Structure 1
Amino acid sequence: MTRVAIFDLDGTLVDSPRAIVETFAAAFDAMGVEPRDPADVRATIGLPLEEAFGRLLGVPRDDARVPEGVARYQEAFRTVILPRARSLIFPGVPEGLGELRRRGIETAVATSKFHASADALLSAAGLRDRFAVLVGADDVTHPKPHPESGHAVLAQSGAEPEHAVMVGDTTHDLLMARAAGIRSVAVTYGVHTRSELATAEPSHIADSFEEVVAYILKMLPQG
């Protein structure tokens, strides 16, 4: 029986929301566009970049400025976030991931980042080798909150939904899990507030990564 813990990346494993706001600002500056309110930018974290830029620019996703924004963002991402990756890891993450693996629980990432960007961030943070499965927004037709990302992780890991847990800091993560028949743990130290997270009806709400690990071990006991 394969047991798998699936993690979101930004705001769950790595404290990147503030750096993401800076990266969007750099992208808008390179485009010659007025910066957006940081609160508006934070509200898009967890969405695919195309959707985020469409919302922030107030244009359809097929507008020419959207791919330009994505390209500018990815360029800034390499200079703003990657050099700081190790310092952005949330407390307890490396130790907690190690404990899960020692208990025989596979670990995976399902993120709204493009696969290459997620791979680069995990590698820069020194965490890439902890995850056998990585599913990015461009690995699926329908990113979170659609269940396809969860289904993709289950297919690649060989786990059944009842033997999986999704961990995330936004309702997008939790709604994806629920739609895929996967239990979930919401973390309060990321983007969405406790009250926002509660609307998605997670199985548990955790205030630290240590609590996350404890909940996962409780939900995925050794058979």
Structure 2
Amino acid sequence: MSHLTVFDLDGTLVDTPRAIVETFTAAFGALGVAAPPPAVIRATIGLPLERAFGDLLAAAPDGELVAQGVVHYQRLFKQIILPRANELIFPGVAEGLAELRARGGTLAVATSKFHASADALLRAAGLRDQFALVVGADQVSRPKPDPESGLLVLRTLGVAARHAVMVGDTAHDIHMAKAAGMRSIAVTYGVHGADELALAGPTWVADTFAEVVALLSAEPAHGAEPYDIGVRPEAGEPAR
């Protein structure tokens, strides 16, 4: 049976956070509204666009101003981020994904991006062919940290949660994995720092993508389930 790894996209596979802040800032300019400080915008990465704009504009997520902001963001995304996609891939990601595929693993993406934007970014980065499935925030009614995205991946690919691992750089990813019954690897090189990730209670923590691949590739010992390596942190205990 092939085992499944579900990846977040921004801040996990592709180093887009700085470009995302730049795109949000440009979208605020197009709205004629003063942009929040970069740190405030960065804190919304990992949330669906409507919720992020709603929080940043102190407006209803389903309101007209938020809808306009999303339209501007999607237009500017194509101008600012897509042309740089290939150079934004984190070190070791392309090689690591190929290695996991070669070992017989099934790979998927669950992201807070809209599906079309995620698919376009993966294609521009030359990574799309590595993934059996890409699930975007607009394909579910309750995006991360709700488990719906993860459950949709599991159901579509026919994989039990115990045979899946979520890899992400935010607490939203870890909470989604927990609620869906999946184990998780928190990567510390993205948006949320190690302390914030530890509070979310990931199964494992990795500082580089090479460490992610090493965790996923470890041989099971004494009949343990594949990926069942190391020590699972208890609830509230920082991952080691």
Task: Answer whether TM exceeds 0.5 for this pair.
Answer: yes
Percent identity of the aligned residues? Answer: 64
TM-score, reference length from structure 1 = 0.97
Higher radius of gyration, 1 or 2: 2
Measured in 1, the distance between the counterparts of 2:131 and 2:92 equals 16
Return the letter of the residue paired with 2:117.
Answer: S
Is residue 31 of structure 2 the alignment partner of residue 21 of structure 1?
no
Measured in 2, the distance between the counterparts of 1:158 and 1:60 equals 36
Native 8 Å contact 1:2 1:157 kept in 2? no
Is residue 194 of structure 2 the alignment partner of residue 221 of structure 1?
no
Give the secondary structure class of the aligned counterpart of 2:200. coil
Measured in 1, the distance between the counterparts of 2:141 and 2:36 equals 28
Mapping for residues 58-207 of structure 1, pairs under 5 Å: 58-207=58-207
Give the number of the structure with larger relative contact order, counting CA–CA contacts within 8 Å between residues 6 or more apart.
Answer: 1
Aligned counterpart, 2:237: none
Measured in 1, the distance between the counterparts of 2:62 and 2:96 equals 41
Native 8 Å contact 1:50 1:61 kept in 2? yes
Aligned counterpart, 2:45: 45
Native 8 Å contact 2:115 2:138 kept in 1? yes
Native 8 Å contact 2:86 2:126 kept in 1? yes
Return the letter of the residue paired with 2:72.
Answer: R
Give the secondary structure class of the aligned counterpart of 1:199. helix
Measured in 1, the distance between the counterparts of 2:33 and 2:125 equals 31
Native 8 Å contact 2:163 2:226 kept in 1? no
Native 8 Å contact 1:189 1:207 kept in 2? yes
Native 8 Å contact 1:11 1:17 kept in 2? yes
Unaligned runs of 5+ in 2: 228-240
Structure 1: 4+ residue segments shifted above 6 A: none
CA shift for structure 1 position 158:
1.2
Give the secondary structure class of the aligned counterpart of 1:165. strand
Measured in 2, the distance between the counterparts of 1:41 and 1:156 equals 33
Give the secondary structure class of the aligned counterpart of 2:108. strand
Aligned residue pairs, count: 222
Native 8 Å contact 2:17 2:45 kept in 1? yes
